[in-house]
A = this chain, B = another copy of it.
Amino acid sequence: MNKRKALKEFKETIKKSGMKFTPQREKIFKVILSTKGHFEIEDLVHKIRSKNIDVSRATVYRTLDILKNLGYVNEVIKFKNKTIYEVALKEHHDHLICRKCGKIIEFHSEEIEKLQNKICKKYKFKPEFHRLEIFGLCKDCQK
């Protein structure tokens, strides 16, 4: 999905949800769209500030919460009391997280997903989303 289209869709969704489409929300959304991979709120605030865009930290937090509820971003993990997010536009995937350098490698395994569904069925549990994080040492940090 291209950015123009995504923005338009976001505008409509926001309005349909009874909220207002403000310049701040537009700006935050745009910055997130241009973000590759994972980010934390502080990153966002700095990125926004460096573009001479005026949005308060509080608004960034409030908007992130909205974006999470609308499904535009996912909370990946709470690490050292900081929340790490990711843009939710790509396909679902899981993470290998290097304990040493912090690198995050994404992977996807249809086989694992299938096994998860099997387990949920067994417990009559209705899955909505999941997180699989494998911590360890990446290729470079094993040296």
Chain A residues proximal to chain B, CB less than 8 Å = 77-79, 81, 96, 98-99, 105, 107, 109, 111-112, 115-116, 119-120, 122-139, 142
Contact = CB atoms under 8 A, between A and B. Distances in A.
Contacts of A124: 138-139, 142
Given A81-B81, A96-B123, A107-B123, A116 B134 contact: yes
Given A96-B119, A125-B137, A132-B132, 4 more contacts: A119-B134, A126-B136, A130-B134, A131-B135
Given A78-B81, A119-B109, A123-B107, A128 B139 contact: no
B130 A135 contact: yes
Contacts of A123: 96, 105, 107, 138-139
Q: Give the secondary structure class of A's interface.
A: strand
Number of copies: 2
A131 B133 contact: yes
Contacts of A115: 109, 111-112, 115
A71 B124 CA distance: 32
Given A109-B119, A112-B112, A135 B126 contact: no
27 contacts: A77-B78, A78-B78, A78-B79, A78-B81, A96-B127, A98-B125, A99-B128, A107-B123, A109-B115, A111-B115, A119-B134, A120-B136, A124-B142, A125-B134, A125-B136, A125-B138, A126-B137, A127-B135, A129-B135, A129-B136, A130-B133, A130-B135, A131-B131, A131-B133, A131-B135, A132-B132, A132-B133
